[in-house]
Amino acid sequence: MAFPPVFEPYVLSTLDHMTAPIHMSTFITFHPENSSKAISALEMGLSRLILLLPFISGNVAFSSQLPGKQNVREVQAATAEFLQEYPMLKIKHHDKSISPTKPGPTVSYDTMLNEEFTPLEFAMAMEDLSPIFRIQANVMRDGVILCCSFYHLALDGAGFINVLSALAQCCHNPGLASLATDPWKEAETRRAIVEAGRNPNAPKELQTSYGAFAGDMTPTSSPESPISRILVLDPEKIERLRDACKSQMQRHSGTRLSSNTIVSSLIWLCYIRSRYGSPSTGSRSDVETTPEKSCFAMPIDVRKTLQLPSSYLGNAVVSSEAFASIDAVLSSARPSGDAAVIKDISSNDIEILAELAHQINECMQFNSKHSIQGLISQLSAGNDWATYCRPGDVSVSNMRNLRSYELDFGSCLGRAHTFDLPENRISGVAWILPSRFRGSPWEVRMALEPEIMERVQRDKLMQWVCARPTPKSKL
């Protein structure tokens, strides 16, 4: 492999520019028989990956390729000096165990989003040069935890899993000749996104879910700063809620209701009650400061809609918003005297859960090919490309169907034991984590202020649907 890897700079697509400038960090746990051999296999696999996809080693930087446009970003090749300071792979040894059954100190995903375990400083996301992809191999006493950090302006969640899949293939076969994508295919897809925005009949109104990026994305140790916790939901109870809500939604003819939507609605419902309701009465805790409506945001993958390759690594998501009356949601917590639809679950809960599910379904319907083309056209025509997706007061990203647990990293590393994304920088953000196996419990990682998190965990509906035994926070 040539060092440093060389490639022509390329401008990020309009869809790339619609995401926040932040490094996302995922933690993947392995239990290899020999950690030293596992790290050697990872080094060889990563070298092969960079040979086949050299731009993975690059940096996102401001671009001058589009005169008259501000805040345009491009991907540039990193210099040898930069790669020496910020190598593709860092290896760090820790005197801690992964398993809570081992003697001595152990680690917890709930507290791992700190620079002891990540390959990049959090502040790098706002620097002039921000690496697309870096790995830190945390060698523990009884296994290896890979922290893979990717820059969201260059990769979305599905794109990151595609990179991870490519890395797994390269670790399994260091002599691999080709992958599902390559630099030429990636460039063709970016051109297809540009063409999608050239529809003269596309709608011209910009969705309200986009605007200027604001906020410090660095985690803090303040007692009031968001914390990250995982909720494990019983799949059978989710199906019971779905069936009950389908019956409730019969008046909406032709409405389809997925389990994904029920889980998202459950998160939204419990969030509103915990954020805005009084702990004692369930009604508004502060009428003067509480907004009238809650905004739910969900990123939607548009690869199929725009007929883009599923192997595409760049961003191919747009944000959808739904709104709900906070008063209507809070009133659902008050006893109505009606018979329970499900034992221990009031008809009020089912009614409001079904209504929230309907609102989510409605917002997803707006993401037609025509409307997405209009969004791309509108943003492409603007002079300032720093137009990012704004999170709602609660945002849910669904990774349930991403097959991270099926990836085979070869005989030395094997398959992932745990895949988690313990982000805790933005309150109200939740991730539905990848399914471990068909029909496995739903794992939801959520970030909230400590008091709000405690109330979500104590919500009667959430307590009912959570799998038993209560999940442990250890790896």
- Considering the domain architecture, whether residues 206 and 242 belong to the same structural domain is answered as no
pLDDT band at 454 (very low <50, low <70, confident <90, very high): very high
Q: Is residue 216 part of a domain?
A: no
Q: How far is CA 87 from the centre of its chain?
A: 24
Split into its structural domains, the chain has a count of: 2
Euclidean distance between CA atoms 63 and 425, whole angstroms: 28
Taking residues 359-385, report their average pLDDT.
85
- Considering the domain architecture, whether residues 19 and 66 belong to the same structural domain is answered as yes
Q: Is residue 121 part of a domain?
A: yes
* Top-confidence range, 243-252, 362-371, 453-462: 453-462
Among candidates 185, 398, 200, which has minimal Cα distance to 308? Answer: 185
Q: Please give the pLDDT value at position 474.
A: 46
Report helix, strand or coil for 112.
Answer: coil
**If phi over 0 gives left and psi between -120 and 50 gives alpha, with beta otherwise, what is residue 154?**
alpha
Q: Please give the pLDDT value at position 223.
A: 67
Phi, psi of 131 (to 5 degrees): -60, 140
> Does the predicted TM-score (pTM) go above 0.85?
yes
- Considering the domain architecture, whether residues 288 and 204 belong to the same structural domain is answered as no
Taking residues 85-95, report their average pLDDT.
96
Residue indicated by tokens 């003269």: 200
Per residue in 299-345, pLDDT tens?
999 999 999 999 999 999 998 899 999 999 998 765 555 555 677 78
Q: Please give the pLDDT value at position 248.
A: 85
Partnered with residue 61 across adjacent β-strands are: 74
Q: Is residue 20 part of a domain?
A: yes
> Which range marks the domain in which residue 57 is found?
10-211
Q: How far is CA 298 from the centre of its chain?
A: 10
Q: Is residue 470 part of a domain?
A: no
CB–CB of 170/46 below 8 Å?
A: yes
**259 to each of 38, 397, 420, how far by Cα in Å?**
37, 14, 21
pLDDT at 42 over 70: yes
Q: Is residue 252 part of a domain?
A: yes
Q: Is residue 38 part of a domain?
A: yes
- 52-61, 95-104, 279-288, 398-407: which range is least confident on average? 279-288
Per residue in 198-230, pLDDT tens?
876 655 555 555 655 555 556 666 667 899 999
Q: Please give the pLDDT value at position 473.
A: 46
CB–CB of 243/467 below 8 Å?
A: no
| CB burial of residue 475 (10 Å; 0-12, 13-18, 19+) | buried
pLDDT at 141 over 80: yes
Give the CATH number, domain containing residue 448: 3.30.559.10
Domain stops at, among 211, 239, 264: 211
- Considering the domain architecture, whether residues 184 and 302 belong to the same structural domain is answered as no
- 42-46, 51-55, 385-389: which range is least confident on average? 385-389
- Considering the domain architecture, whether residues 145 and 239 belong to the same structural domain is answered as no
- Considering the domain architecture, whether residues 176 and 234 belong to the same structural domain is answered as no
Per residue in 241-265, pLDDT tens?
999 999 888 765 556 899 999 999 9
CB–CB of 30/413 below 8 Å?
A: yes
Q: Please give the pLDDT value at position 386.
A: 83
pLDDT at 279 over 70: no
What tokens does 127 get? Answer: 């620097």
Domain stops at, among 211, 246, 278: 211
- Considering the domain architecture, whether residues 454 and 355 belong to the same structural domain is answered as yes
Q: Is residue 32 part of a domain?
A: yes
Domain stops at, among 163, 183, 211: 211
- Considering the domain architecture, whether residues 41 and 181 belong to the same structural domain is answered as yes
Q: Is residue 222 part of a domain?
A: no
Q: Please give the pLDDT value at position 30.
A: 96
- Considering the domain architecture, whether residues 249 and 290 belong to the same structural domain is answered as yes
Q: Please give the pLDDT value at position 208.
A: 54
- Considering the domain architecture, whether residues 297 and 336 belong to the same structural domain is answered as yes
- Considering the domain architecture, whether residues 435 and 337 belong to the same structural domain is answered as yes
Does residue 262 or residue 102 have the better pLDDT?
Answer: 262
Q: Please give the pLDDT value at position 469.
A: 47
pLDDT band at 443 (very low <50, low <70, confident <90, very high): very high
- Considering the domain architecture, whether residues 78 and 186 belong to the same structural domain is answered as yes
CB–CB of 430/394 below 8 Å?
A: yes
Q: Please give the pLDDT value at position 175.
A: 92
